Amino acid sequence: MTLFRVIVVLVGGLALLLVVVILRAETTRLHYSIARCERDADEMRQQLVEAELELARLRNPTRIRQRIEQAVAQPAEEPAPAPPPRRRARP
């Protein structure tokens, strides 16, 4: 084997190793990104479950009757006084 062929083989091997390292780094970055998206999706699912439970609690007929009875039992509140008029700032 001539010196030129040895250099070409070594350069080719070096280029191949560089490509492998770059691909592994990109794969690691993508795995991290996917894991972060899955974590966000899990948090969103948890929030959805909590919101659905709250909605089911609010739709409960017994709870609605209790709120109506409480509203009827409480005397009507006087309307809040109007806020004083704002003064215009002088330029």
**Predicted confidence (pLDDT) per residue in 6-43, tens digit:** 999 999 999 999 999 999 999 999 999 999 999 999 99
Q: Is there a contact between 63 and 57 (Cβ–Cβ < 8 Å)?
A: yes
Q: For residue 49, what are the domain limits? A: 32-69
Please check whether residue 63 lies inside any domain of the structure: yes
Q: Is the pLDDT of residue 85 over 80?
A: no
Please check whether residue 91 lies inside any domain of the structure: no
**What is the average per-residue pLDDT within 32-57?**
95
Please check whether residue 42 lies inside any domain of the structure: yes
Longest dimension (CA), the chain: 103
Domains of the chain: total: 1
Please check whether residue 59 lies inside any domain of the structure: yes
What percent of the chain shows pLDDT beyond 70?
90
What pTM was estimated for this model as a whole?
Answer: 0.54
Please check whether residue 58 lies inside any domain of the structure: yes
Please check whether residue 10 lies inside any domain of the structure: no
What confidence score (pLDDT) does residue 70 get? 85
**Between the CA of residue 45 and those of 29, 34, 41, 49, 52, what are the distances in Å?**
24, 16, 6, 6, 10
